[in-house]
Copies of this chain bind each other. A is one copy, B any other.
Amino acid sequence: MNLSPLAERFVLHFGEMGSRWGVNRTVGQIYAVLFIAPSPLNADDIVDALGVSRSNVSMGLKELQSWRLVRMVHQAGDRRDYFETPKDVWEIFRTLAEEKRKREIEPTLSFLRDALMDAPGDDAERHAQEKMRQMHELIDLANGWFDDIHELSPQTLESLMRMGAKVSRVLEFANQLRGVGRE
Known A-B contacts A6-B115, A17-B108, A121-B5; A35 and B167 likewise in contact (beta carbons under 8 Å): no
CA A159 to CA B179, docked complex, whole Å:
12
Q: Please give me the residue from chain B that is nearest to A35 by CB atom.
A: B131
Set B21, B107, B160, B161: member contacting A168, Cβ < 8 A: B160
Q: How many copies does the complex hold?
A: 2
| Main DSSP-derived SS at the A contact region | helix
Contact of A121 with B6 in the complex, beta carbons under 8 Å: yes
Interface-located stretch among A50-58, A60-68, A72-80, A145-153:
A145-153
Contact of B181 with A159 in the complex, beta carbons under 8 Å: yes
Q: Please give me the residue from chain B that is nearest to A174 by CB atom.
A: B170
